């Protein structure tokens, strides 16, 4: 899998949870793989009026200095673990990932950080 | 005639087993008729067989009927909290749904299952009301 | 009694692009909601944040963001309570 500058681990899963590829800090990490899978299953029950069934195409789980970014495509689940950039303190991982992935949204990073700031 | 309904029941069973895994701390999902006759039951291997005692369901039915007389409309759900368990019972006559979980189980999640379940319950409801 | 909470919720809901928000307790029961959000979402929001916390149980709870087109659902746990915010950007 192509490496991002701040990537510290990755996982590629089949939609049934089998690990196809892995590397970095997530190498052979079946425990995390199962947690991600359960998490994705849960997102299917999210409010249909807001997000129609299985339309959720990306999930970010952001910690203080790193983040997990989950993408679903072609019956595969791609997960990258990114170290947050030092310039963007809290939501750095998000900003970088949205630049390098297919979902380019210029103001995404900003919006998410307002959300996070509100919640903390 | 037999085969499609058999396929259906297998389908429903695995759906409920999936739900059981999805909700953390949930031990049992039990579907009965209003007298407590079991229609379906999926459980984790935890020993919570008290839900099978005959008085358990009929007590709920009575409580639900009484709660309906408070002038707030028909009673839909009763949540009972105990020191080691929580029991969520839904009045979906002719069916009664009983969920038993640990005391810190996600009650909100169980309640949110309600509207997803309706489609799956439709066939069972027909079967019970015919019999 | 819940005036403070409602004030905070309305404040969150008045932020740009925010569609709705809610706060839930440990049991997944909704403590308060504002805007266009189904209070039943509280149970699933709580379940999601609990699930994500299993990843690194020793760290502070993470922020979870679900993306769907121009919509986002942001979930953050803080001690006993969890907040859920729906956002929809008008740019698309």
Residue A66: domain span:
7-83
Q: Please give the pLDDT value at position A72.
A: 87
**Domain-located, residue A74:** yes
pLDDT tier at C85 (50, 70, 90 boundaries)?
Answer: very high
Q: pLDDT (tens digit, 9 = 90+) per residue, A48-88? A: 778 776 677 899 999 999 999 999 888 899 999 998 875 44
Q: Which of B58, B89, B94, B86 is nearest to B76 (CA)?
A: B89
Ramachandran category for residue A28: left, alpha or beta (phi over 0 → left; psi -120 to 50 → alpha): left
Is the sign of the CA dihedral A42, A15, B116, B36 positive or negative? negative
Query: How many percent of chain C have pLDDT more than 70?
Result: 98
Set of chain B residues whose Cβ sits within 8 Å of the Cβ of A42? 22
pLDDT tier at A105 (50, 70, 90 boundaries)?
Answer: very low
> pTM for the complete prediction?
0.80
Locate tokens 């909290």: which residue?
B81
The domain tally of chain A equals 1
Number of CB atoms found within 10 A of residue C12's CB: 20
Query: For chain C, what's the residue count?
Result: 92
Distance CA A10, CA A78 (A): 8
Q: Which of C55, C53, C65, C57 is nearest to A91 (CA)?
A: C65
Query: For chain A, what's the residue count?
Result: 120
Distance CA B103, CA B112 (A): 18
Set of chain B residues whose Cβ sits within 8 Å of the Cβ of C26? 104
Contact B108 C42 (CB under 8 A): yes
- Sketch out chain C's domains with CATH numbers: 1-88 (3.30.450.30)
* CATH of residue B90: 3.30.450.30
Buried b or exposed e, range B24-57, using 16+ CB within 10 angstroms: bbbbbbbbbbbebeebbebbeeeebeebeeeebb
Residue B110: domain span:
4-130
Helices (H), chain B: 2-22, 54-67, 107-130
Set of chain B residues whose Cβ sits within 8 Å of the Cβ of C27? 104-108
Of A52, A112, A118, the CB nearest to C15: A118
Q: What is the DSSP letter of B52?
A: G
**Domain-located, residue A94:** no
Average pLDDT over residues C5-10: 91
* CATH of residue A41: 3.30.450.30
- Sheet with B77-81, strands from edge to edge, namely B38-43, B26-33, B95-102, B85-92, B77-81
Is the sign of the CA dihedral A49, A53, A56, A61 positive or negative? positive
Q: SS3 for C64?
A: strand
Q: Which tops the pLDDT comparison, A32 or B51?
A: A32
Q: What is the DSSP letter of C56?
A: S
Distance CA A65, CA C60 (A): 11
- Prediction ipTM score: 0.86
Please spell the DSSP secondary structure of A63-120, one letter per residue.
-SSEEEEEEEETTEEEEEEEEPPSSSTTTHHHHHHHHHSS---TTHHHHHHHHHHHH-
Buried b or exposed e, range C60-77, using 16+ CB within 10 angstroms: ebbbbbbbbeebbbbbbb
Set of chain B residues whose Cβ sits within 8 Å of the Cβ of C42? 108, 112
The reply to whether omega before B94 is within 30° of 0 (cis) is yes
In this complex, is the C-beta atom of B93 within 8 Å of any C-beta atom belonging to chain A? Answer: no
> Looking at the predicted structure, is the pLDDT value of residue A107 above 70?
no
Of C52, C65, C73, the CB nearest to A46: C73
The domain tally of chain B equals 1
**Domain-located, residue A114:** no
Locate tokens 């997990």: which residue?
A68
**Minimum Cα–Cα distance from B110: chain A residue:** A45
**Domain-located, residue A51:** yes
Contact A45 C56 (CB under 8 A): no
Q: What does the pLDDT profile of chain B (131 residues) look like in tens digits? A: 444 455 566 788 888 888 888 888 899 998 888 788 888 888 887 777 777 677 888 888 889 989 999 989 999 999 999 898 899 999 888 888 999 999 889 999 999 888 888 878 887 788 777 76
Q: SS3 for B82?
A: coil
């Amino acid at each position: 899998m192509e490496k991002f500058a701040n990537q510290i681990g990755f996982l590629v899963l089949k939609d049934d949870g089998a690990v196809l590829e892995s590397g970095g800090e997530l190498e052979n990490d079946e425990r995390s793989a199962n947690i991600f899978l359960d998490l994705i299953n849960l997102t299917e029950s999210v409010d249909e009026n807001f997000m129609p069934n299985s339309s959720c195409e990306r999930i970010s789980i952001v910690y203080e200095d790193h983040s997990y970014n989950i993408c679903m495509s072609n019956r595969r689940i791609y997960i990258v673990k990114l170290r947050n950039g030092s310039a963007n303190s809290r939501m750095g991982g998000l900003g970088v990932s949205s630049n390098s992935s297919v979902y380019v949204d210029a103001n995404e990073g900003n919006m998410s950080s307002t959300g996070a700031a509100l919640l903390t | 005639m037999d085969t499609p309904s058999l396929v259906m029941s297998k389908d429903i069973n695995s759906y409920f087993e999936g739900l059981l895994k999805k909700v953390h701390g949930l031990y049992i999902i039990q579907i009965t008729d209003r007298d407590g006759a079991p229609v379906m039951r999926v459980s984790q291997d935890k020993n919570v067989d008290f839900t099978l005692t005959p008085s358990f369901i009929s007590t709920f039915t009575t409580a639900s009927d009484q709660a309906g007389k408070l002038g707030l409309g028909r009673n839909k759900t009763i949540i009972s909290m105990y020191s080691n368990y929580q029991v969520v019972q839904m009045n979906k006559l002719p069916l009664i749904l009983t969920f038993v979980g640990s005391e810190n189980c996600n009650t909100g999640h169980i309640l949110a299952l309600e509207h997803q379940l309706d489609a799956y319950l439709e066939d069972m409801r027909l079967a019970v009301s015919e019999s | 009694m819940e005036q403070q909470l409602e004030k905070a919720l309305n404040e969150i809901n008045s932020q740009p692009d925010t569609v709705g928000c809610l706060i839930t307790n440990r049991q997944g029961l909704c403590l308060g909601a504002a805007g266009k959000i189904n209070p039943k979402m509280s149970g699933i929001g709580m379940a999601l944040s609990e699930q994500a916390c299993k990843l690194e149980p020793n760290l502070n709870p993470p922020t979870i963001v679900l993306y769907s087109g121009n919509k986002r659902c942001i979930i953050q746990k803080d001690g006993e309570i969890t907040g859920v915010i729906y956002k929809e950007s008008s740019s698309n």
